[in-house]
Amino acid sequence: MDPGIRTFGGILLLALLALFGRQVATENDKDFKLCGSWIHGSHSRDLIVDLKTGCENIIISANDSSLSIRGKITAQCNRSEVRALDPSPGPTHFCVFWEPLLDMLIMEMNNTNTTLCESREVQTMCCTDLSSGAQNKSQHHGIVNASIHGDIITGDAIAVYEFKGGVIDCKKVFCDKAVQESRGANMIEDAVMRSKAVGSVDLPCAQSVVVKMNEDFAGYNVTLPAPHSVPANTVLLYLPACLKPARSNTAKVVCTYFKSSTLFQGSADVLDEVVGISVENEIITHLPEPVRIKFHHSDILANQTAKCVSWDTRKDKEIKWRMEGCKTAHISSKETECCCNHLTYFAILVQVNPTRKVHHLQALTFITAVGCAVSIVSCAVLFISLCRKRRAKDQSSLVHRGLVVALFLLCLLFVLTGTIANLGQDEVCQFVGALLHYALLSTLCWMAVEVLHTFWMIYMVFSPSPKTCIWYLLGFGLPALPVVILASMGNFYGERMVMPSDDVSKPYRMCWMTESHATLLAHFILNVGLLAAVVSSGCIMLFLVARKIHNRDEWRRNRVAFLSIWGLSCLFGTTWMLIFFEQLSETVVFFFCIINSLQGFFLMLRFYVLERMRKKPGFGTDGSSTGSTRQHMLQAQEKS
């Protein structure tokens, strides 16, 4: 071959090698993994280990009878031994792992890991940054298909691989890497769990405490020191006895205070204090006794609410904080305690209360309670008299009764909801909130049924009226559908606070729909939509009825009475407005509050006005034979 070409080939090879060497060094800035196949003789073989503390190099060499790992690389481990291996005919696949942070050297051979070195500490300065040094070729025996982190270096048989080490600040490098990873927090917890350390482990990005749970583990208090910048923000944890898995004698639990908020990016409303708890090889859920986490944090303003949230571990990539599984106890504006029944990462979510302040909240609460009480009694009285009526089986009586029952339920729940919210039982409050929503929807549905039923009686006199069960399905069945759907989706019902203007620290708590964008949407579609439908159809009905009967005798005679009935009915429908428009002038709010809570009473009033009108001669009393509309209705009902 032409000597020039040969020289050129050599330069090219050198250039490639230089490139390769640099690549290896940058790729493996911390951990090191070398794998290869050891071609050996068929007679006895052994593994030679000769490791010393320091930071020079690691030499992995092989000949026909032995595979040896030598060098000065570890922080704490001196190990020198010759281990006999079982004879094997073919090449033996092996890997060498070096994790400098944990000072851990592992040899994998025949699919089993042997730990050659490990220490009880997480290292600060460590020896890695391994760059390939000398490689000595061999004829028959040695290491073939050697790879670093899966990248094949060469297919040739090499007798000796040498890697030179350099000292790095591996805690810092580790943390820098963790904050770039999508599961960086997991990486940190994992490393601490895998280290043999017990007690406090300090990293630039996290502060961990490792607790060993022995057989007699009976709960434990942990204090996690705060990040250096905010010395007062310590976190107190209480680990209950039930945390120890029953099937193992001992287990390790790692509690970590993450200092770097970048680990949990994309959650602007979550405070920087994030704590993770995990138990070795376990996924812990449904603890009978909760883990208690007491956060000390920056001041929560009076117009903000702090809620305990936990990381949704079901979502791998997405950052998602959930409120389920944790109960929030407000201790002070700088302290919040979370009681959680599962283990993951926990934090405090701070939300600005969108609720506008309500003036004279106490007076309004009182008026509403009294009004509701009157309504409850009125509903009960009305129900009994509807049942006692001669025509108790009459369809309109049944429809009235449906509305009365729905309104009774609504008033009762509305009165009770404040008390129930103060019990602090989340599940109960969610259930009552859903029930209250159901009662509201049911009441609105029954109003719609009333309107529809009246329409039927006046306009469809000669077609048979729908079966009673259809009305009941509309009034009681239909509203259950959206409530069940919303309840199963979670997060829609729960505690809601109404802020009084005078003292924001004493909000009025109630169980209703929670505050979120999704809930607001549901509220507008369901509640406001239904209300608008009921009110507008009521107005149309009023117009139609007036047109139909305006030239009849009874209309002339009972004009005032008719107007008053419809007036009451309309009033009755529109008063629910209070829930929908919160910013009204104070007088209007008072007015609405009074009228709204007295709905049951108005219902009773309407009923008795109607009854009186029926009894008046000439107004189509049950027995009379005038050709009144009512008479038509009755005939129609008898036919059906």
Structure token pair of residue 377:
């009694």
For ligand NAG, the closer of residues 358 and 511 by Cβ is: 358
Interface residue with ligand NAG, options 20, 238, 555, 591 (CB under 6 A): 238
**∠ CA 34-38-40, rounded to 5°:** 160
The answer to the question of residue 57 lying near ligand NAG (CB under 6 A) is no
The answer to the question of residue 281 lying near ligand NAG (CB under 6 A) is no
Structure token pair of residue 378:
């009125």
How far is it, in rounded angstroms, from Cα 129 to Cα 178? 18
Taking contact as CB under 6 A, which single stretch among the options 56-64, 433-441, 512-520, 618-626 is the one that binds ligand NAG? Answer: 56-64
The answer to the question of residue 476 lying near ligand NAG (CB under 6 A) is no
CA-wise closest residue to 569 among 397, 477, 446: 446
Give me the helices (H) in 218-334, please: none
Interface residue with ligand NAG, options 78, 114, 182, 640 (CB under 6 A): 78
Interface residue with ligand NAG, options 26, 42, 80, 110 (CB under 6 A): 110
Query: Cβ of residue 69: shortest distance to ligand NAG, in angstroms?
Result: 10
Query: Cβ of residue 344: shortest distance to ligand NAG, in angstroms?
Result: 22
Q: Binding to ligand NAG (CB under 6 A): which residues in 304-333?
A: none
The answer to the question of residue 60 lying near ligand NAG (CB under 6 A) is no
The answer to the question of residue 82 lying near ligand NAG (CB under 6 A) is no
Interface residue with ligand NAG, options 25, 29, 91, 296 (CB under 6 A): 91
Distances (CA, A) of 372 to 202, 247, 378, 499: 59, 55, 10, 21
The answer to the question of residue 301 lying near ligand NAG (CB under 6 A) is yes
* Binding letters toward ligand NAG, positions 342-361, x by CB under 6 A: ----------x---------
Interface residue with ligand NAG, options 23, 124, 131, 145 (CB under 6 A): 145
Give me the helices (H) in 351-425, please: 361-388, 395-423
The answer to the question of residue 377 lying near ligand NAG (CB under 6 A) is no
Taking contact as CB under 6 A, which single stretch among the options 11-19, 214-222, 401-409, 555-563 is the one that binds ligand NAG? Answer: 214-222
Helix (H) or strand (E) holding 37: strand 32-39
For the chain, the distance separating the N- and C-terminal CA atoms, rounded to the nearest angstrom, is 112
For ligand NAG, the closer of residues 162 and 450 by Cβ is: 162
**DSSP strands (E only) in 110-216:** 112-117, 125-137, 142-148, 151-154, 158-169, 199-202, 206-213
For ligand NAG, the closer of residues 84 and 232 by Cβ is: 84
For ligand NAG, the closer of residues 154 and 422 by Cβ is: 154
Taking contact as CB under 6 A, which single stretch among the options 105-113, 244-252, 448-456, 553-561 is the one that binds ligand NAG? Answer: 105-113
The answer to the question of residue 486 lying near ligand NAG (CB under 6 A) is no
> Do 55 and 72 meet the contact criterion of CB atoms below 8 Å apart?
yes
Query: Cβ of residue 289: shortest distance to ligand NAG, in angstroms?
Result: 12
**DSSP strands (E only) in 405-501:** 493-498
Q: Tell me the backbone φ, ψ of residue 575, rounded to 5 degrees.
A: -70, -15
Query: Cβ of residue 84: shortest distance to ligand NAG, in angstroms?
Result: 11
DSSP readout, 81-104? Answer: EEEEE---SS-EEEEEEEEGGGTE
The answer to the question of residue 285 lying near ligand NAG (CB under 6 A) is no
Chain position carrying tokens 């509203």: 479
For ligand NAG, the closer of residues 139 and 551 by Cβ is: 139
The answer to the question of residue 86 lying near ligand NAG (CB under 6 A) is yes
The answer to the question of residue 80 lying near ligand NAG (CB under 6 A) is no
CA-wise closest residue to 504 among 298, 296, 295, 300: 300
Look up residue 636 and give its amino acid.
A
Burial call 431-467: b when 16+ CB within 10 Å, e when fewer: bbbbbbbbbbbbbbbbbbbbbbbbebbbeebeeebbe
The answer to the question of residue 68 lying near ligand NAG (CB under 6 A) is yes
Interface residue with ligand NAG, options 262, 265, 303, 501 (CB under 6 A): 303
> Do 255 and 205 meet the contact criterion of CB atoms below 8 Å apart?
no
Look up residue 155 and give its amino acid.
G
Interface residue with ligand NAG, options 26, 65, 80, 262 (CB under 6 A): 65
DSSP letter assigned to residue 216:
T
CA-wise closest residue to 128 among 158, 166, 82: 166
User: What is the number of residues in the chain?
Assistant: 640
DSSP letter assigned to residue 490:
-
For ligand NAG, the closer of residues 135 and 395 by Cβ is: 135
DSSP letter assigned to residue 196:
-
The answer to the question of residue 196 lying near ligand NAG (CB under 6 A) is no
283 φ/ψ sector (left φ>0, alpha ψ -120 to 50, else beta): beta
Across-strand partners of 509? 497
Q: Binding to ligand NAG (CB under 6 A): which residues in 248-277?
A: none
Query: Cβ of residue 145: shortest distance to ligand NAG, in angstroms?
Result: 4
> Do 134 and 162 meet the contact criterion of CB atoms below 8 Å apart?
yes
State whether residue 345 is helix, strand or coil.
strand
Total residues binding ligand NAG (CB under 6 A): 36
For ligand NAG, the closer of residues 160 and 487 by Cβ is: 160
Interface residue with ligand NAG, options 20, 25, 46, 53 (CB under 6 A): 53
The answer to the question of residue 499 lying near ligand NAG (CB under 6 A) is no
For ligand NAG, the closer of residues 142 and 402 by Cβ is: 142
Binding site for ligand NAG (CB under 6 A): 37, 48, 52-53, 59, 61, 63-66, 68, 76, 78, 86, 88, 91, 97, 106, 108, 110-111, 113, 134, 136, 144-145, 155, 160, 162, 219-221, 238, 301, 303, 352
